Amino acid sequence: MIAVSGKKNEIMLEITMHDHIPLPELYDAGLSLSKLIIAVINIGTLGFFWYDLPRQPAKYYETIKDLESPNMDVTIEKSKGLRTDWKQGALTEKNLHHAIDCLIAYAHMPDSEAAPIFGPYLEGLVLLSKCDVHLSCEPQAKDAFIRGLKAAMHHFGDWDRQEDALLASLHKVFAEIIPEQEHRNIIFAPLKGATSEGALADAISAKRIIDLYLVLTADRIKAGQIRPTHVNA
């Protein structure tokens, strides 16, 4: 169960576990389930949720004082930080609906099939949660999300692992929700390499591409168009 906490940018996750889980296994079972729920919330919102966020995303100091003008307020910050790039509003019923659809579609995947997709996805979330003025992991986070995307597209039969066919395969899938190719080209630009938007923006874009792909795939699973554990050999 998800409950709103006293802070507007925080949610509390309350989990009830089945009594068939032995006590020694409860810790790992609860952690695994919480990661799954956090993953589908991230996917369903196209935003960013994690257990802990960077504490110094924009500045490394408390105050700066100009000794010649002591009354002047001086603030020098990193141009963009993780907390300010997402433009994520309040959770909506549509967000939660997408998250629930993803939970239903992917929760029962065998570990051997889920790990290549959601392992890199969670790795990307972890790396983003560590990005601050002291540590820059944005390129690694972007690569992790792309690895998860490729694994998902192959698993669900949308890509044959030919690198030169990846973008064409993505265009085919995304044409359903983004009819204009020029708009898709803008969205897929970070997959071709670094863009002028910067490393953090590219990592966020890569995350949103896999988010949208997994939401669309969950819809196809729900509609019976593909099987949840279909593998293209």
What pTM was computed for the model?
Answer: 0.86
Q: Would you state the pLDDT for residue 227? A: 72
Q: Would you state the pLDDT for residue 175? A: 95
- The domain limits of the chain are 2-222
Q: How far apart are alpha carbons 101 and 160 in whole angstroms? A: 26
Helix (H) or strand (E) holding 55: none
Q: How far apart are alpha carbons 154 and 131 in whole angstroms? A: 29
Q: Does residue 107 sit in helix, strand or coil?
A: coil
Measured CA angle at 209 (ends 152, 189), to 5 deg: 120
Residue 58 has phi, psi (to 5 degrees) of -125, -30
pLDDT tens digits, residue range 111-120?
999 999 999 9
- Answer positive or negative: Cα dihedral of 25, 30, 32, 36: positive
Q: Would you state the pLDDT for residue 71? A: 84
Q: What is the percent of the chain with per-residue pLDDT over 70, rounded to a whole number?
A: 89
Q: How much is the average pLDDT of 60-68?
A: 83
